[in-house]
Amino acid sequence: MAFVTRFAPSPTGPLHLGHAYSALLAHDMARAAGGNFLLRIEDIDPQRSKPEWDAQLRDDLAWLGIRWDAEPMRQSDRMPAYRAALDGLWARGLIYPCTCTRRDIDLALGAPQEGAPHHGPDGPVYPGTCRHRPRSGPRPMDQHLRLDMAAAAEPTAFAETGPGHAGTIATTAQGYPDQIGDIVLARRDFGTSYHLSVVVDDAAQGITHVTRGEDLFQATAIHVLLQRLLGLPTPVYHHHRLIRDETGKRLAKRDDARALAKYRAEGATPDDIRRMVGLAP
């Protein structure tokens, strides 16, 4: 079987040791399989994405010895593909417009009859306030669009090769509305979402194996459902462990202290970075 994997950073801050681990692991897996490693720049959020972070991350990856086998895909170039996917879901009545603010949602969930809210991959399960809103006519461009999970959900399954859960992971149709809820597929401010874009682009890049952190394990259930709805193939998933700081907290973009650029400036070599993240040089 062909093996095509990818690293998909958002250019919103410096790459840190956690990114280095993810990128090196994916790259090593592609090379070991005689496959391809691709890069995708996830810059759908124009407020947070910066060209200088894009340039820096490419430079850091090249320094680590990572080579990508095709011109990187840039999500900001891919809006027509996201719009086409959303148009199809809208025509099928599976997405609906939503004007709720975070505060509206908190208030609805805080109502005494609601009980304790479930938390899904994107936060508390949406209480469905806007679910009754009309789904006909032109697709609204200036509101969030949510996926109607009760209408869209079906049982799904995917193959997982990561250390924590290796095997076949199955979901039930009921799990989607109950545990994930009506997630936002298009944000009003930039017309798409992480979930929609990642699914459309993994298919467009011919990704057969998705390698990424186990913090995204729950999001994968959303992605597998979207693949079904959009008629796209489901890759094999490998959710890897996270690199944590000495207190056990996972590294975030704001952890500049662990930025690769800082280690580079202090004279670390790529093999030092490999050792630090537990990958043999």
Q: Which residues bind ligand GLU (CB under 6 A)?
A: 8-10, 42, 198, 212, 216
Dist. CA 270–CA 63, nearest whole Å: 7
Dist. CA 134–CA 225, nearest whole Å: 23
Cβ proximity to ligand GLU: between 254 and 275 the closer is: 254
Q: Please state the closest distance from residue 139 (CB atom) to ligand GLU, in A.
A: 25
Cβ proximity to ligand GLU: between 42 and 182 the closer is: 42
Contact 221, 156 (CB under 8 A): yes
Q: Please state the closest distance from residue 11 (CB atom) to ligand GLU, in A.
A: 9
Dist. CA 75–CA 17, nearest whole Å: 24
Cβ proximity to ligand GLU: between 10 and 100 the closer is: 10
- Characterise 231 by phi-psi region: left (phi > 0), alpha (psi -120 to 50), beta (else): left
Q: Please state the closest distance from residue 116 (CB atom) to ligand GLU, in A.
A: 28
Cβ proximity to ligand GLU: between 228 and 250 the closer is: 250
Q: Please state the closest distance from residue 152 (CB atom) to ligand GLU, in A.
A: 20
Cβ proximity to ligand GLU: between 89 and 210 the closer is: 210
Dist. CA 160–CA 170, nearest whole Å: 10
Beta-carbon count within 10 A of 48 CB: 13
> How far apart, in Å, are the Cα atoms of 58 and each of 51, 62, 161, 272, 274?
11, 6, 27, 19, 17
> How far apart, in Å, are the Cα atoms of 1 and each of 79, 148, 236?
30, 35, 11
- What does the block give as tokens for 235? 């890759």
Cβ proximity to ligand GLU: between 98 and 251 the closer is: 251
Q: Please state the closest distance from residue 4 (CB atom) to ligand GLU, in A.
A: 14
Q: Which residues contact 272 (CB under 8 A, 6 or more apart)?
A: 263
Q: Please state the closest distance from residue 145 (CB atom) to ligand GLU, in A.
A: 20
Cβ proximity to ligand GLU: between 10 and 56 the closer is: 10
- Alpha-carbon Rg for the chain, nearest whole angstrom, is 20
Q: Please state the closest distance from residue 253 (CB atom) to ligand GLU, in A.
A: 9
